[in-house]
Structure 1
Amino acid sequence: MRLPGSYLWQLTYRWTLPRHPKKSRHWIMDPYFGRFNTARQDRWVFGDRETGAYLVKFAWTKIIRHQLVKGTASPDDPALTDYWINAANAVSAFLGVSLLRGSSRQWHGWDSLGCLGWQASTLRLGMRPWG
């Protein structure tokens, strides 16, 4: 099993090779890889020197454990409406509204927050998202 970070590095490195077929490996690394994120000491970040844009590494993602869903909890149970609203709000607060807005079109506008906020809006309105 390959780690996602090493796999992504291999993909980006292989992406650079055909663009400079007669250049050495070290020459290829200089324009594409560097220390783009100044908050980190990582020199092997893939990015664009002109714009400053770079790929975020998987290793930079902080692991936050989630609270397990109750064994019999169902979004269709009216007694657990508050439970599911709090769960959806916790997820949307963690991810941030800007991240969720882009995927709201995928859920056909169930909620203005996007892909994970649909549970709260459907429970408040008494609607079911699947039919």
Structure 2
Amino acid sequence: MRYYTNLLPPLWTTIAVAVATLATNWIWASWFIKAKGTGLAVLMVYSIFGWPLMLAAIYLALGFILRLCEGLPWLRMAIVLAVIGAGFAVFGVPGPWNLLLCAALALSVGLQAMRTAQDDADLEKL
């Protein structure tokens, strides 16, 4: 379970989670807009498991791509901005609830990643 915290440094982990959450919310929102009747009920039940799985898949894909660009922060930022730009082009501007969820999730994961990095640094000093 600790592997995801070692995937990227804390700042890039926070950025990757925020972008993955934004992308996941865009995709699910587009599906919910199209669904009606029974399809909407099935989608709501499926979202209980599907949303976190999609978030994890997008985060891992983005995280491994960003990890391959280690030492090239400008390339990492270009990739992140390309993903956000593609989302704006396809899905439009995110709504306030989408941004609030992204901020809450990114803040909690970012704090946990920084805390884990600090704990690891403290253990190395011993």
TM-score, normalised to structure 2, is: 0.26
Larger Rg: 1
Higher RCO (CA < 8 A, seq sep 6+)? 2
TM-score, normalised to structure 1, is: 0.25
